Chains A and B, each alone.
Chain A
Amino acid sequence: MPQTTPETLLPEGLTHTTMTERIAGLVLEPRARGRWRLAFAVSAALALMFVVCLGTVFTVGVGLFGVNIPVAWGFPIVNTIWWIGIAHAGTLISAVLLLTRQPWRAPVARLAEAMALFAIVCAGIYAIVHLGRPQFMQFLIPYPNTMDLWPQWRSPLVWDFFAISTYFVFTLGFLYFSLLPDFATLRDRAHSRGLQIFYGVMALGWRGSALHWARYEQVNRVLAAVAAPIVVSVTGIISLDLAVSLVPGFHFTIFPPYFVAGALFSGFATVSFLAVVTRAMFGLKDLITRRHLDYLGRMMLLFALVVNYAYIQEVFTAWYSGDPYQRAVYINRWTGPYAPAWWAMFVCNSLLVQLLWFRRVRRSPAMLLALAITSNIGMWLERFQIVFTSTYASYMPSAWGLSGPTLWDLLVALGSLGLFAFLLLAFVRLAPVVSMHDMRVSIYRAVHKEKSGD
């Protein structure tokens, strides 16, 4: 493919000194605080609303949601799957791209990791909400209790609990691990006593010792190697919530890989979204270049194609099974009361993403931002139509019944977006938004390459 020489991944003349000054400066001497404050205030208000709404729901009961029988799982499970999916690309970027030594990983990895952590926080809260009776959540934990009961190990709900909590602890640990040397940098550069103590405590006394770095790299490789199976298993296990049931439209062996691909698609869309916003907000256009956006766009396209393949397989399986109920679910998805959701999903996930074949689209921040938003809407609609169309009309017409969101569903969903934004905005004020030690390795490699090339 003929290519005009693309800009390098690192700006010319970036040294360890200037890079550290710039990135640490974003935290220690922030500028453009007006926009940040406004965004922070709005997201904090939404996060507060989330807390109030959940408090009400927990007090009054899940009857406030639009769930009913037959649609016993409404928005909460849709949003659990959606949020956990967003988290996955964060893990994939930080881990798999690390193992495969992709040079474009460094400036976007920190963003992706933070995004993953906060998306899991939202997913975890929604997972508790979707239990319906959150006051019995501890029944999922195997502990010796006065009832002499143990968890039901054959239930995907119990697997979910283990999968999501493992994933949360892993992501928190991975993020902190990657922040550790950067906290040391901030500790050494902070001027106020309070910040010195805060970053000093967080840095654990890291002193950049060569032996520490060597062990650090060993652990990093272990974590990265473990991350790949986590990415595959968490969404895979969540998809089994649906797939192990005998409901037409849920009961497909293709569900685990299908959900993983969908998760990565929406995750890369969210990373693209955050990359575009961050590079504009913090003036990082030379570190997160259009070439980085290009790569993110390619990843989005790749996983969108896998998702589309899964759509085709799903329809094919329904037809080939010869089962009238399976077939009816699909006809119903295209023509029934929830058909607008299916067709909107088709436009977002199957048609609009084809624009990513064009290099100019991938390299345009505005276009990528727009496609990131439509892709996330599309992926949300995908989970919506899977959950709603499969259950509202299954076997007996006498048991059919429509379900729609109530105001509480919508407020909680909006509130979870607010919580995500709130945590992310707080994070970028307290920690460097680009991993400084990873950038130093990139700079070192670039300089080294130049030298050996001479």
Chain B
Amino acid sequence: MTEQNHSEQDHYGLIARFAGPEALVAATLSAREAGYRRLEAHAPFPVPGLAEALTFRERGIPLIALSLGATAAAAAFFLQWYTAVIDYPFVVGGKPLNSWPAFLPVTFQVGIFSTVMAATITMLAKDRLPHYYHPIFNCDDFARASADGFFLSVRGGDPAEVEDFLRAQGAENVRELML
């Protein structure tokens, strides 16, 4: 009894391997229809339609990247204007103190730099990466997810019921995942 309780506590979910990208998309769609919500699909490349099957609708990353990039560019311009006009006014080559066209290259580069950093860091934060331990790595054939395997993992639920469902969707093999 205690042993069974222990294994129930350690139960994370089930993972199933499918034959190919199309089969995985189809299985994901029907799992959503059947009411499963805690799903994660794994593929070795971005399979068209797979994220949409998991109702992925984020548009945030480009917007965040663009707005942070624009803000940083404005800050860079302000820094140049402030240092050249207010803090250290110094006439060079008879140019006006606020010689704004000459400030644009640095403004542009800082904007680009920040856009890139913002996009990348936002992605990592949303993905919750780095994330070195995950129960699915306990699955013995999950190594194929980075080569030629297409997986769907279902978290929680009654293992027997979920397994029947996954098998009915044409899963090639189904494994239990432990925490």
Contacts and interface: CB of A to CB of B under 8 A. Distances in A.
Nearest to A233: B108
Contacts of B40: 209-211
Interface in A400-454: 436-437, 440-441, 444
A136 interface: no
A208 B146 contact: yes
Interface string A151-162: 111101011001
A150 B137 contact: no
A31 interface: no
Given A185-B44, A185-B147, A214-B58, A169 B116 contact: yes
A106 B21 CA distance: 20
B17 to A, nearest CB: 12
Contacts of B105: 156, 159, 162-163, 233, 237, 240
Interface in B37-54: 40-47, 50-51, 53-54
Contacts of B79: 142
Contacts of A210: 28, 40-43, 46-47, 50-51, 53-54, 56
A200 interface: yes
A189 interface: yes
Contact of B43 (A148, A208, A222, A226): A208
Given A169-B116, A210-B47, A213-B47, A205 B133 contact: yes
Looking at B95, B103, B105, B143, the one whose CB has the most chain A CB atoms below 10 A away is B105
Contacts of B26: none
Interface stretch (A14-22, A264-272, A297-305): A14-22
Nearest to A200: B132
**Size class of A's contact patch?**
35 or more
A437 B61 contact: no
Interface in B128-152: 129-134, 136-137, 142-148
Given A208-B146, A233-B105, A169 B131 contact: no
Interface residues of B, number: 63
A210 B113 CA distance: 27
B51 A214 contact: yes
Looking at B41, B87, B108, B115, the one whose CB has the most chain A CB atoms below 10 A away is B108
Contact residues of A: prevailing secondary structure: helix
Contacts of B61: 215, 218-219, 222
7 closest residue pairs by CB, A with B: A214-B51, A188-B143, A16-B148, A440-B45, A150-B83, A213-B46, A204-B130
Interface of B: 21, 28, 40-47, 50-51, 53-54, 56, 58, 61-62, 65, 79-80, 83-84, 87-88, 92-93, 95, 99, 102-103, 105-106, 108-110, 112-113, 115-117, 119-120, 122-124, 126-127, 129-134, 136-137, 142-148
Given A166-B109, A204-B131, A210-B40, 4 more contacts: A20-B44, A169-B113, A216-B46, A222-B61
22 contacts: A16-B148, A20-B44, A142-B83, A153-B103, A153-B106, A162-B105, A166-B112, A173-B120, A181-B146, A185-B146, A188-B144, A206-B129, A207-B42, A208-B44, A210-B46, A215-B126, A215-B127, A218-B58, A222-B62, A237-B105, A240-B105, A436-B44
